[in-house]
Structure formats: structure tokens, C-alpha cells
Structure 1
Amino acid sequence: MGTAVHLCGCFNSTTSNSHQLQPFKTRTKCNYAAQSVKALPIRILSVGKKRSRGLQLLVDDYIEKIKYYCSVEDVQIRPNPRNARDHRAQVDDEDTAVMNIIRSDDWVVMLDERGQDIGSEQMAELVGGASNTGASRLSFCIGGPYGHGRKIRERANISIKLSSLVLNHQIALLVLMEQLYRSWTILRGQKYHH
């Protein structure tokens, strides 16, 4: 992945091993809408405590919807309770756990409150254009209560935020799942069904 790629005019190579998102131009339509798009498998890595039954039912419902378009995997990573008093050590341990799951050929999207603010059309472009990066999988990373560690921040190919509001990691997961489903309906030119 050492060469520059072009994705809707939004990606370029700023380092030798990662593709960074440049500011999206305001658009009302996704460049990939209703075109044939190679569906990369999606893996969602989220750090956090056990989910409520209600949240898990909603996540499972979205997984079933997304599976119609591509392979999707939901991976939960437990926060490190041994270092609960030492936030830095906890983040470092969670960081290591996430990095142990990410493969070298993953295209990594970090969800972060300081990431680039994108809309549904831009999310669809991100999903639709990820296959042009040379990656074999699209991995979305949701940090725990203290955010992401240094390793994942350096490894991420792109950093986005889902809202200008700071979202709890469980709410962020649900918003991400809904936006991934919405992205595929945009890419396929289909009507969005709740």
C-alpha cells in the first residue's frame, strides 16, 4: 500500500504506508452510487463493556441487513479492568488488543471525536472506494471510554467522526451500523428502509 490512490478526489498518500483522507468537497451525490462496487469485508472492532440486550438486538439486526451487501464481523474487545485506575495504561492495553486483530492489509477507519466530519454520501464514498486502496478488508475501530491509543492512531488510514456530539461507544456503534447500511443502499441506488 505504498503508492498513492485516488478515491473520489478524497484520498492521497501522505506517508509511505498510509492513505489519508483529505477534506471532502460538499456533494449531494456519491460518485459510486448505483455503480458496480467491489464489496470489501467489513470488521467492526469496538472496545467496551458487555452490551445491553437491547443494543445487541439492534446491532444484530443491522448486521443481517449489511450481510445482504457484504461480509460483516462484529468484534467486541473488553476494556482492561486491571488498570481501571490508570487510564493511560488501560488505553495502551486496549490499543495493543486492537492492533493484534488488525492485519497489515486492512484499511483502517478510526472513529474519533476529532476526526473528519462526514455525511452519509461521503461515508458511502468511503465504503465504495475502499476496494481501490488495495486492502482486503475494511476495519472500523471504536475506542473505549478513554479513546484510542497511539498505535491505532498511527496505523489508521483515516479518522472520521460520526457526530459533532461526543458519543458513548455503544451509541457510536449503533450509529456506525446504521450508516454502513445506509451507505450500501446509496451505493446500490436502493430505497433506504429503516
Structure 2
Amino acid sequence: MKMFARTERLLLRPGFAEDASALARAIADEQVCRNMSSPPWPYGVQEAQAFLAAPADPALPRCLVFLRTGGAPELIGGVGLQRRPSGAVELGYWIARAHWGKGYATEATRAVIDMARMLRLPRIEAAHFIDNPASANVLAKLGFRPTGLSAPRHSCARGGEAMTRLYRLKLCEALGGEPAPLAA
């Protein structure tokens, strides 16, 4: 199932092979890659092609984030949900450095959280590297709560493990399983 969303300023849609060059340009920044666990550094068109061709869980959204403009939309990030080996569903996101501090990460992740509610997921987990406090701010704005746990996570761009803080967002009531109300 392919999922799309449109927000006030953004378009979220699945990535296609034709997006490889734009993806490589948007993410080709060492600090952006270091803030995530999967992307290697350096990141080029071949890495973008491999990412776009990789299988994804068809039941969970995985979207590129485009800034809606007066002309062609501009690829500025990515956001999605993935299933961890533990079975937990985890939120991941990134925004190109030129667009940091403008609220795009919060806006894009809020749209994916709304998708998770429609999918009736009971909770979402998230993590950020300890040296990335901006990501902690995004998670707090979205209602994620710290679990009190930290854990090492491998970062391809860092070439090793780095400590992360773990968060959780409850989407459904504990009893009855009814979805929480959608965010306004």
C-alpha cells in the first residue's frame, strides 16, 4: 500500500527511481547522514538508487518529503515508519540542512503519525542520537515521551555505534484499543 499526504507546506509521497538524483542532492551532507543510523557517508546517486529500490514494509508509510512551491516540488527530506527486529514500529525522519529550523520535520512527522493512527497502530517508538538535541525537540512537540532508556545504535555514517535516547508515543487507549483522536 502506497501512502501519500499533503500538509500546509509539504507533499509526502513514496520515492520512485526517478527521485534518485534529487534524493542524493538533498541528503548529501555529512551531518544529515550522521544524525541517522542507516545512510552511509559519503552518500551519492548509487546509495539513493539502492534505497529507493530496497523493499519496504507495504503496511507502513515510507515517504520522501517535498516542499510545495509555485513550481515543481523540492525534495527536502524523508519520513516513515519501519518495523524493528523487536516488532516495535519506529518513526524515522530527516530534513536537508538548508531547511533545518523551519518546522518541516514536525509537520512531516505529524502527517505520518496521523497515518499511523489510521492504521490503528497502538504506539510508535523513536530514537535520536544524544548529540542531536534538535530531534529531541521535534519528538517532544509531537507528544513523544522519553522512556528513560538509552542504547547504542550503529550509524553507518559515523562508522560505529553512538548512544541514542529512546521515546514512545501512545496512539491508542490501553483498554478497548480505540484510536486516540487525530491531532488538530
TM-score by length of 2: 0.31
Q: Which has the higher helix share?
A: 1
Identify, as 1 or 2, the structure richer in strand: 2
